[in-house]
Each structure stands twice: as C-alpha cells, then as structure tokens.
Structure 1
C-alpha cells in the first residue's frame, strides 16, 4: 500500500514508517520541521516567520488583522506538493492541528489532503481537544494541565489550551466527521477516548530497537542521573519538580552521583547525551511513557516517567520493575532516587526489564502490523 503520514512528533511517524517499509509498503512523511528536534521528513514544510524580523511582522499583522502569514505560507507549500501527496491508500494525521496553523487553515489543509487521497485516520498522541478537555475537567488525578490549574501560567501556551477555543473545537468536530477513526498511542490518550464511537483502540508507540543499542549498566563509580529539559515545556513536563528533587538528593549523595542537565538539544544530539547515564528523568504528569522515555528504556536506562497503576494493570506489571512512576512530588521522587542509589543492583535489574518490555510491547514491526490490521479492517 501507499501510505501518507501527516505530521511528526517525537519521531513516532519515522519509527512507524521504518516498520511499514520492512513490511514492503511505500511510506511518505509530510510534516513541518519540528524546531530544534529536526526529525527526518520526506516532504518538509518550512517555517518562514518563526524568528527575527519576519516574526515581528507576522505578530504585528496578526495582532491588528488576525491574518497569520505563517499559516498562509504553510498552505501554499501544501498546495505546491499536491502531485506528491495524492492517490495514497491510507492517510494518517498525527494530530488535529499538525502544522501549527490557525484552526481555519488547519481545516483547509485537512480537507485538501483528504480530497486528494482515500481513507483518512487520526492519531491521538499529543494535546488535542478530547485529551485537553479530559485534563481540564480534572478527571484524572493529575495531568499535563495540573501546573496550569494550580496557577502556574509562566508557559501558558505550552499546555494546549488553544484546543478549548471555539475555532479549534469546530476544527475537532469537522475532522471527526470526516475520518474513518482515531487511534491512541498510549494510555494518556486511550483513557479520554474510551467509549467514543470513532475510537479504534490503542496501538503502543513503535520503537525501532534495532537502531537503539542496549547498553548493559554497570555501577562501578558514581551513578549518573540525566535530566533533559525542553525549555518550552518546562512546567508541563514537571522539570521544576525534577530539579527540586535533584537538589534534595544532591545534598545527601553528592559523593555518589553525577547529575547531567541539558536543555533543548536537537534529537540526534539529545539521544547521544544520555548514553553514559544510569537514570533518566523524563516527565511527571503522565500515566504512560512517551517516545523519549521508551527510547531511553530501550537503551537500558532506568526512567522516571509515567508508570501509573492503570499502566501497570494494562501490561500486568509490578511497580518499580520496568520504569519508575514520577509523581508530582519532589520528596517522593528524591526518595525513589535514594532507593536506587542505596540499591544499585535494582538499577541493573530494572534496566534489563525495561529493554525487554520495549522489545515485547513496542517493537516497531509488530506495531506497524497492528496499524495495518486496523487500517485495513476499517478503511
């Protein structure tokens, strides 16, 4: 089959493409270049107005006219790519607004790509209307909106609150009327979609373990703790709580640990920087692991991330055996770090379990097969 994957987050569509190509399918990714992360894209959509003088012009014009030059520039590129984006058997959008445009332009782009092709599916693997509303209504005990709901508006725009605005709600309903169905990539998106008539089920994030070499951990000197920060999502990911926990643990065990902190690195550089780490601090306000956590687990790191009871039940696991659930409490995170520092054999044990878990449940070929079965069953 010919498959068009629209948009890219955290390398999910790249890994899915690799799995589908192993199964002899033709796959093309069209996506906006993802800022500093710089993931591979077959048909890149470039941002012209995201920095410098042109950004100031864009913002000034939008302020007085509501005309978004970046959105107009984006849809022009899409139109020029029509010959390369037509006649695909399957199209999958990674999000309701994968190009970062105004809601009206996102709807126009969605309609164009849908008209040029056949069966259209949607992924829920990032903030969208259903997941943000679920979080905003405070249905889970905590969520990515917890910092915002607690009054932290320092990075308000990173929380995905635009999806609760009328124009994006309209976009959501328009897309859901048109798509064949929606697939969730992990439990954080599965739970809000339960019982929705268009929900086709959860297919775990595909991880290409053949590209991610497992590194058996040895605790011979200091335990290396890695903390990678995306400045744009600092509070949303709980980096402030991780930093508070690191301060606590560093006061007690400075002679036994080495803390490595990096900020907003390109993907290829980022994934190399934690090669020597034993422990990785990923994110707090999650029930399941995202892509960064899974790739680190595949490399044998002990990852502090989403590993809630719902996840344990779904995969029939015991607590603290595959990943460490990072609760929004610096003292509790510090306590888990102390447990690992005092019991280094647990680091080795969890490392092995983490790799095996990713190989079993997130193998990119198996996940690709599950996508194919779902698409073919419903298209």
Structure 2
C-alpha cells in the first residue's frame, strides 16, 4: 500500500499554523536549529531529512553539515536550482530544480523520525526589509515548528513533488520511515516544547519585520564601496536569481569653469545639494554610492522596471529643482536604469549606459539583460 495514500486516507495531515513573514536571517536561525536536531544522537528510529536551498551558493555554505547529516540519516534529500544535482555522500540524494518551478522559490528544511519532527517551509516573496545586508532582509512567507505530524505532512508533500527525480532506493527509505511514523502516535507535550523554542528564537533573532524599523538605523545618504560590497553580499554568500535589484546610474554635469567663476566653496555646496537631490527619492532600505565626481549609482532592491523608471524620473525632477536655489548653474542629468537578479550586479554595464546616454544626449536609458542601452520611453 502506498504510504502517502494511506496517510491521506486516515486524515493525519494538518494545515499547520498560518504563514508568517520571516526574514532570511530568521530562516537561517531556524534552519540551523532543525539541522542541529538532525545531528543529535537519539534512539527514536530512522531519520529523513529533506532540504531545499534555492541556489547552490547557499548549500555550499552548509555542505559539511549535510555531509554529517547524511552519514547518520536513513535518507537525506537536498534540492536546489542548478544544472546538475549537488553532490552528497551515500545516503544523500541531490535534486536539480528548474528555476521556473514552484519549489525553486522555496526554502525548506524538514526532519522526521517516528518520534520526532521539525519543519520550516517558506516561500520567497522577492521582497526585502531594511537590515544589515540585502540577504538578511530578504522576506519569505512561511511557517516553522517542532511537531511531528506537521513534519510528516511536509515529507509527504515533498516526496510527491520530488519523487520522479529520486531513485527507487531513496523513495523506499522515505516510505519505510513514513510507515514507522504511522504506527506510532506523536509525542505528548510537543506544543510546550515548541512554545519555549519560539520564545528563545524571538529573543535571539531580532530581525523580524515588525521590529526592523526600530532596530536598523537609517542608512547614510551615501555609502562607500566597501560598505556597498558588504551590504550587497559580495563579501559574503549571495546568489543570482533570487532578489531583483534596480540599479540607476546617474551622471550630473555642470558647465565647465563653474568652480573658477563661482568659487570652490560654492561648488562644494552645490555638490552637497546634488547628493541631497539624488538621494531624496530613496527608501530607508536603498543605498547610493558616488563612483566619480559627477557619477553616482543608486541601488534599490525589489523594484519593478516601471518603478525604477519612476524613481529615475524623480531624480531628474529633483536635480532640475536645484535651479531655484542655484539659478546661475545648469545641471545636465543623464540616467541609465536596469532591474537585475544577477550577482555580481551589472554595475559596469550601467556605467557604460550612462556614458552612452551622456554622449548621445539621451536623458534616460535602459539596460537590457544583454547590456544594450536604448532610449527609455517618455
């Protein structure tokens, strides 16, 4: 008898708690707790662990831990978007996901034995809140808990969705655990243990969306290159294909000889006014960097192309408004806009597009994925 059909027939599966907003930092905290439980020594029967990591760089950071988990579990399955499955030791099975399928946006870790269960299931919202880094602030909608029957539900679901990509040995091992789970009741008192774990998680992890505003200070209008690298994850772990980020390159030029005609001090005041105008449309989670005396880059996570073009238009209007305070200086503004999920981000292509726009006299250009600049619709 198919254990999946048998379990559904007996009504074991539960809807589980309502989804909640979780930051990436929260997910990592809970994931590590579940993985630690999978590594603990316990005489509670065979163990199944299934994890979805979205992209290879996220798994590589945890590969050593999953090698240890696979050594002690009856079966370990790891799924992520990649041309080929991740390599795992005997007892471990990698699954390559297509970037267009639903599981590609899922960050999940499930551990199940006949007596124990823990699960984290979250879907990437492709949104972000203000946090120390872009990765930490990524938002997911999901739920987690340390209840066996909820973990059972997720193992059955993931077995069904991954089953045609798993070898018979893996499916047999999973089914053997499911049969053992069905034979035993869940451990009483799970809700008490979970309540304590949730309290500890809340106190350890202070990155919840409801608390971000009061705990993450507003960024400076302008950051330096090392700060931008840390924030975008270039010095840590990040991956392409997850969070879309809008890049707006800006060049602000003024007539030659301005410093000689109006004085260096006046020029410095004008430069500060330009920076204020450029950063005025930014949200608390956005960043800006000065790449050259007359060139800037605005980095705005989780914007659509239309929204990014609207911000660029605001930049044009904001800089044009400086004429009211500096009537004798005419600023020429050129921008280039793209939205990308590439990592590293295509900064060089955006700078090239800004140069092209300034040379051709195009106020606003767009950068396609092929890095071809074209006049933006007006």
Q: TM-score, normalised by structure 1?
A: 0.26
**Higher relative contact order at CA 8 Å, sep ≥6: structure 1 or structure 2?**
1
The structure in which a higher percent of residues are strand is: 2
Query: Which protein is richer in helix relative to its size?
Result: 1
Which structure's CA Rg is the greater one? 2
TM-score under structure 2 length normalisation: 0.26
